[in-house]
Amino acid sequence: MEIENFMTASEFAEKVNTAYPTVAKWLRDGRVPGAIRQRIGSMEIWMIPVDVLKDFVRPKMGRPRKTESSKAARQTPAHGSKKRSLKKAAKKGARAK
């Protein structure tokens, strides 16, 4: 393992124009391919292959889009929801009188 073929997390963050804490999270989550954690004395640093830069695709931000099955599950009423809505309607009707 030659040190010239690797860069640190802060160098990687600078090259992909991203904040260091974001890159650190990517590394912990395994989103940077080929990155390894190396112990040097009492410190641990991330070693990222230089070759990763040419193929690196920035992870998407935010919540993943809903699938058709998750959309359908949300539209199905929960068990007992009709009873609850009838009880609420009855209470509102009793208050109006």
Residue 80 pLDDT exceeds 60: no
Beta-sheet strands, E only, within 13-95: 36-40, 43-49
What is the model's pLDDT at position 65? Answer: 79
Look up residue 77 and give its two tokens. 């009423």
Residue 20 pLDDT exceeds 90: yes
Q: What is the DSSP secondary structure assignment for residue 60, as one 8-state letter?
A: P
Average the pLDDT over 58-83 and give the result: 71
Look up residue 74 and give its two tokens. 């949300």
Look at 6-10, 12-16, 56-60, 86-90 and tell me which has the smallest mean pLDDT: 86-90
Where do the structural domains in the chain lie, given as residue ranges? Answer: 1-60
Site of tokens 């292959």: 49
Average the pLDDT over 54-63 and give the result: 81
CATH number of 1-60: 1.10.10
